[in-house]
Amino acid sequence: MRVLEGVVVCTVVLLLSPGSCAAVRPDLTITTIKQDPYTMSKGSQLEGYCMDLLSELAKKLSFKYNVHLVKDGSYGRQDESGAWNGMIGEVVRGEADLAIAPLTLTAAREKAVGMTKPFMQTGISILLRKDISEEAGFFDFLTPFSVDTWVGILAAYLGTAVCFCIVARLSPCEWSQPQTEKNSFTLSHSLWYTAGALTLQGAGPHPKALSGRIICCTWWLFGLVLLACYFSNLSTSQGSDSNSLMVKGFEDLANQQGIEYGTLSGSSTLAYFKNSNNPTYRKIYEHMERTKSFVPSMDEGVRRAKEGNFAFIGESVSLDLAVARHCELIRVHEVIGMRGYSIAGTLGSPMLKNLSVAILQLSEAGELSYLRSKWWASSCMANPAKASSLQPHSLKGMFLVLVLGLGLGVLLAVLELTAKSRSGAGEQRKSCCTVLSEELSQRFRGTTTNEKRSEETTDKEKA
C-alpha cells in the first residue's frame, strides 16, 4: 500500500513540475540549392544571401535548423504524373520542412506547397554582351553635342565673323586709307577666316591690329577647347551601352535572326513563355523549342552570353548579378513577368504565417536591402562617365570668354578709331565728333562705292 502511494505521489510531482508539459521543438530541416550568391560553399559551411536571410529569420522566430543541399540539384518541377522533383518535391514528401532559395512564386507551386510573402522581387529580362550594337547612323558624328550646343556654336561662329569684319573696318591699323585702300576683311573673307581658324587650318591674311588679334586669339582658344571636348565625347560615345543595343527588348529579340537566344531548361521562365498568349512571347518560345537553345544552368547561360552572339533570358535579379561580376555584359531595361522569390513549406504549416510577418519586418527595417547590396556588389571598375550629348551649360565658361574677347576687341577698335579721329580733328580744325562721324561714314556707308572705285582703277591700270 505504501509503495502504491509513493508511486502516485511521484507521478503527481512529475506532472506538476515546471516545464514537464512543454514539448521539445525539433530542429527544422531546410533544403536549399547552390546558386551564387544565394547559397555558396565556404569550406564545410554554406554562405550567401539565403543563409543570411535564414539566420535573421531564426533570430526573430527563435528556431534552430539544419540545412542540406537538394539531392537532385533541381528547384522543383512537376512531371506528367504529377510528382514533383527538386526542393519542392522534398517539401511535398516531408523530407524537408522548408525550402529556401530563389524559388519563384507560381500558381502550380502554390497548389503543392505553402509559400511565404516574397523576400525579393524579380522579373524576366535579357542578358547580352555590350558589343552587340546597332550599325552607326549617318549623323552619329553630331551626337557628342546636343542640338542647343550646336546652335550656340553656330551663333558664336557667325558673331565672331561679324566682329572680325567690324573691327577690320573700324581699326585704322587694319584699314588706314578707306578712300583708296581695299579692305581685305570683307564679310565673306571673315566667314572663311573664322571657319579656317576653328578647324585649325588657318586662312590668311591675318589681322594686323591689336583689336583683331585679340579676337583672333580668343577664337583660337575657343576652337581648341571645343575640338578637345568634341573628340573626347565622340570617342566615349562609341562605347556600347543599353541605349545602343540592337536588342532593346523582347520585341526586338523576336524579330531578329542574327542573335541566338535561350533560357534555363525546366525553369519558370520557360513556363512563362510557354503558357503566354502574347504573340511575341509565343514566337520566342517556339523559336527556343525549335532550335533547342536551352541551357542546363545559369552559369552556362552566362558563359554563352559572354562568348557573344547569344542572348540569355532569365530572372532579372540573377542577370544583375552576372552584370556585376562580368563587366562585358549588360542587361536590357525591359523587364516582364514581375514576380517574387519566396520560401516554401508544407501546406497548412503555421510556420509560414510567422515567416511572412518576419520577412515583412526585415523589409521595413531595411535588412533585405542591405543583404541585396552586400551580395550584389559589383566587381567592375567604375566606368568613365558615358558621354551623353554635351549641353551648352557645360561650355558656358568658354562661351563667356569668347563674348568678353569679342567685346574687348570691338572696344579697342573703337578706341583706335577715336584716337585717330582726335589727332585728325586737330589737323583739320574740326570737332572730334565730326571727324569720327566722317570716318564711320567712309568705313561703312561708303564702303561699297570705295571698293567699286578701287576695282575700276585696277581695271584701268590693267587696260
Output the CA angle 19-22-27, nearest 5 degrees: 120
User: For 268-277, which contacts have Cβ atoms below 8 Å and span 24 or more sequence positions?
Assistant: 268/104, 268/106, 268/339, 269/124, 269/313, 269/314, 269/315, 269/337, 270/294, 271/106, 272/124, 272/337, 273/313
Burial pattern 320-352, b for ≥16 Cβ within 10 A else e, equals: bbbbbbbeebbbbebbbbebbbbbbbbeebebb
Please check if 104 is assigned to a binding site. yes
Cell numbers found for residue 405: 574677347
- Please name the residue that has the C-alpha cell 514566337: 283
Contact present, 276 and 93 (Cβ < 8 Å):
no
Q: Is 109 annotated as a binding residue?
A: yes
- Residue 303 annotated as lining a ligand binding site: no
Strand locations in 23-119 (E): 28-32, 40-42, 45-47, 65-69, 98-104, 114-115
Q: Which helix (H) or strand (E) holds 331?
A: strand 329-331
> Is-contact 422 429, C-beta < 8 A?
no
The three-state secondary structure class of 219 is helix
Residue (of 232, 187, 264) closest to 384 by Cα position: 232
Q: Is 102 annotated as a binding residue?
A: yes
Residue type, 1: M
Classify 456 as helix, strand or coil. helix
Amino acid at 168: A
User: Taking Cα atoms as reference points, which of 34, 30, 6 lies closest to residue 297?
Assistant: 34
Burial tier of 358 (Cβ tally within 10 Å: 0-12, 13-18, 19+): buried
Q: Are 161 and 191 in contact (CB under 8 A)?
A: yes
Task: Find out whether 185 and 193 touch, Cβ atoms under 8 Å.
Answer: yes
Please report, to the nearest 10 degrees, the dihedral formed by the alpha carbons of residues 46, 52, 57, 58 taken in order: 40
Q: Is 315 annotated as a binding residue?
A: yes
**Is 262:288 a contact under the CB 8 Å cutoff?**
yes
The binding site for L-glutamate comprises 102, 104, 109, 268-269, 315
The binding site comprises 102, 104, 109, 268-269, 315
